[in-house]
Chains A and B, each alone.
Chain A
Amino acid sequence: MSAPSLDELFESARTGNRRALGRLLTMVERQDDNAVMVSERAHRDAGQARVIGVTGAPGSGKSTITGRLAAVSGAARPAILAIDPSSPLTGGAILGDRIRMDNNVSSSTFIRSMATRGHAGGLAVAVPDAVRVLDAAGCDPIIVETVGVGQVEVTVAAAADTTVVVVTPGWGDAVQANKAGLLEVADIFVVNKADRPDSRGARRDLELMLDLGHRGEWRAPIVLTTATEGEGIDDLWSEIERHTSYLHHSGELIRRRCRRRRSEVADRIELGLRDRALRIIDDQSGESAMVRVERHELSPAAAAKQLLATLIPDNPPEE
C-alpha cells in the first residue's frame, strides 16, 4: 500500500478519520519540510473554529475542566490540544492529561497530547499549526490547554479567541494576582475546587484586581466550578459563548486573529533567524570572531553586531 497523499489525509481527517488527523498533527509537530506543506494546505480551510485557551497552575484542574467543557459544548466534533512540558534533560515527557479527560468526554472528542519539546520557541509555531490542522479538519471548538508557567506556555494559551485562566482557593492574594503575568491574558477566570474553603476569598481577590482596571469594554467574569463534579461547567460554557458573541459584535475577533497571525509570522522569522544565527557562529567568520572574543580583543556585543551584519546585509546602521 502506498502512503496516502496530503490531500487524501486531509480529506479523511475531514470525514472524522482519527488516524489521518493524528498523522497530520505529527507532521506539523515535527516542524520539518512536510510541516510547511501541511500548514499551507490547512491554512486554506482554517478560520472557522472557535479557539479556546485554558491555562493555570499545575494541579488547578485544567484538564478536568477542559474535558468537561468539550462535553457540555454540545459540539459534534470538539478537539482538545493538551500541552505538557518535555524534560529539558532527556527530551522525554509524561503526557498525563488524557487520564483526567477520558471519563468525561464522548468518543467524538479528538484529544491530542503535545510535549513542548526542546527547541526554543518551537512550541509557539507548532501549536498554531496544530490548531490550524484541527480547524481545517472540521473540529470546533478547539481547546488548547497549557500549564501556566513560563512565558511561552502562557503566550500559547493566550493565542486563542477566548482565554480561560484557572485558579484555586488559596492560590494567593491580589498582590500575587498582579504579579502573575497569566492574569493579564484572562478573558474569563475560573475559581476551581470551589467546594474548598475560601473559594469566595479567591473570587474577592480577583474582583479587587479587576476593579483596578481592565482593558477594553470586556470585564473578565469569574466562574466558580467544582470540575470533578461537573459543577459550574455549564456556567463556564455560557460565559465562553457570551465572550464569543462579544468578540463578534465588537469586531475584536478580527483584530485578535489579525494580531495572532502577525505574531505567528514574527515568531517564525525569529526562529528562522535564530537557526541561522547559531549556524553563523560555527562557520568561518563566526569562529574568527569568537577567537577574538576569547582573546578579549572583541566584546561579545561587538562580535554579535559584526556577525548580524553578515546575516542581514542591509541592516541599517544604528545611530
Chain B
Amino acid sequence: MSETLGISPLSADDQEPLRVVLAKLGFDGHDRGLKVVARTLRDAGMEVIYLGLRQTTDSIVAACEQEDADVIGLSMHNAGHLTLAPRMVQAVEEAGLGVPVVIGGIVPAEDVTVLIEAGVAAVLGPGASTEEVVAAVRAAVAHQSPAR
C-alpha cells in the first residue's frame, strides 16, 4: 500500500508497552539468539511479536503494519547482513513506517559503520548483555520519535 497517511509511531514515553517485531530475514536457521532476545525484551516489559525464521522484507513490513510495531529487531548469522539489513531499512522507508531497525548477531566490526550509515539504528554483537539489548531497543525507539 503506497498510501502512508502520515501515521507516525505512537509509543515512546507513555505508559504503554513497546511493541517489537523480531525476525530472521532470509535463509538463516540459527534462531537461538533471537529466542533469548525475545525473552529478554519480554522481561523488560515489552510485547514481542515473534515471527521467527525465513521471513522476507515484505512479510516483516506487513507484520509491522498490522501489529503497529514500534521497532524491528533482526537477527543475522548468515553473513548476509550487508545485503539484507539495508534492504530492510529501505523497505521500511518505502512503506513509510518510520520504525527503527536493530540488528543482532554476527557482524564484523568494520561492517557496523556501514550498517549504521545505511540507516540501521543499532548493531548488537554476541557479547552484548541483556541490559545492553534492552537499552539499545529503547534508545532506537526514543531516537526515532524525539518529539515524545
Q: Which chain B residues lie closer than 8 Å to A17 at the CB level?
A: 1, 3, 5
Does chain B have a CB within 8 A of A92?
yes
In the bound complex, residues from chain A placing their C-beta under 8 Å from that of B59 are: 102
Query: How does the 8 Å CB contact mask read for A167-185 relative to B, with 1 for contact and 0 for none?
Result: 0000000000000000000
Q: Is the CB of B17 within 8 A of A26?
A: no
- Given A18-B62, A25-B68; A95-B49 close (CB under 8 Å): yes
B42/A19 in contact, CB under 8 A: no
User: How many residues on chain B are close to A (CB under 8 Å)?
Assistant: 36
Q: When chains A and B are docked, how far (Å) is the Cα of A86 from the Cα of B45?
A: 9
Which residues from A are CB-within-8-Å of B86? none
Return the CB mask of A10-36 against B: 1 if under 8 Å, else 0. 001000111111110110001000000
Within the assembled complex, what's the spacing in Å between the Cα atoms of A86 and B63? 19
Cross-interface CB contact of A92 among B5, B44, B95, cutoff 8 Å: B44
**B51 close to A (CB within 8 Å):** yes
Instruction: Using A99-B52, A111-B66 as known contacts, say yes or no to A94 and B38 having CB atoms under 8 A apart.
Output: yes
CB pair A94 B42 closer than 8 Å: yes
Which chain A residues border B7 with CB–CB below 8 Å? 3-4, 9, 19-20, 23
> Are A95 and B68 closer than 8 Å at their CB atoms?
no
Taken together as a complex, chains A and B put the C-alpha atoms of A102 and B52 apart, in Å, by: 10
Annotate B55-71 by CB proximity to A: 1 below 8 A, 0 otherwise.
Answer: 10011001101111000
Q: Out of B45, B50, B96, B97, which one reaches A90, CB within 8 Å?
A: B45
- Mark each residue of chain A from 32 to 64: 1 if its CB lies under 8 Å from any CB of chain B, else 0: 000000000000000000000000000000000
Shortest distance in angstroms between A1's beta carbon and chain B's nearest beta carbon?
3
Question: CB of B129 within 8 A of chain A?
Answer: no
Distance from A70 Cβ to chain B, minimum over Cβ atoms (Å):
13
The docked-state distance in angstroms from the alpha carbon of A114 to that of B42 is 14
Task: Provide the bound-state CA to CA distance between A189 and B94, in Å.
Answer: 44
A18→B7 CA distance, assembly (Å): 11
Q: Which of A9, A30, A87, A113 contacts B49 (CB 8 A)?
A: A113
Answer yes or no: B46 CB below 8 A from chain A CBs: yes
Docked complex Cα distance between A20 and B5 (Å): 8
A98 to chain B, nearest CB (A): 6
Inter-subunit contact A26/B10 (CB<8 Å) = yes
Whether A22 pairs with B66 at a CB distance below 8 angstroms is yes
Cβ contact within 8 Å between B63 and A90: no
Instruction: Tell me if B5 and A8 are in contact (CB < 8 A).
Output: yes
Instruction: Give the contacting residue for A87; candidates B3, B43, B51, B65; CB below 8 A.
Output: B43
Chain A CB within 10 Å, residue with most, of B38, B42, B44, B46 = B42
Q: Is A107 an interface residue (CB 8 A)?
A: yes
Inter-chain contact A4/B5, CB cutoff 8 Å? yes
Q: A2-B6, A90-B45, A93-B42 are in contact. Are A98 and B50 (CB under 8 A)?
A: yes
Chain A residues, Cβ within 8 Å of B6: 1-4
Taking a contact as CB atoms under 8 Å apart, the answer to whether B50 and A94 are in contact is: yes
A19 and B44 contact, Cβ closer than 8 Å, known pairs A8-B5, A99-B52: no
Picked from B3, B5, B46, B51, the residue with its CB within 8 Å of the CB of A102 is: B51
Mark A residues whose CB is within 8 Å of B: 1-4, 8-9, 12, 16-23, 25-26, 30, 86-87, 90-96, 98-99, 102, 107, 110-113, 115, 117
Enumerate 28 A-B pairs (CB-CB under 8 Å) in ascending A order: A1-B6, A1-B8, A3-B8, A17-B3, A17-B5, A18-B62, A18-B65, A19-B68, A19-B97, A20-B5, A20-B7, A25-B68, A26-B68, A91-B17, A92-B43, A92-B45, A92-B46, A94-B42, A95-B49, A96-B52, A98-B49, A102-B51, A107-B58, A110-B66, A111-B63, A112-B66, A112-B67, A117-B17
List 10 extra interface pairs beyond A98-B63, A115-B17, CB under 8 A.
Answer: A3-B7, A4-B6, A12-B3, A18-B1, A30-B16, A86-B47, A92-B45, A99-B51, A99-B52, A117-B17
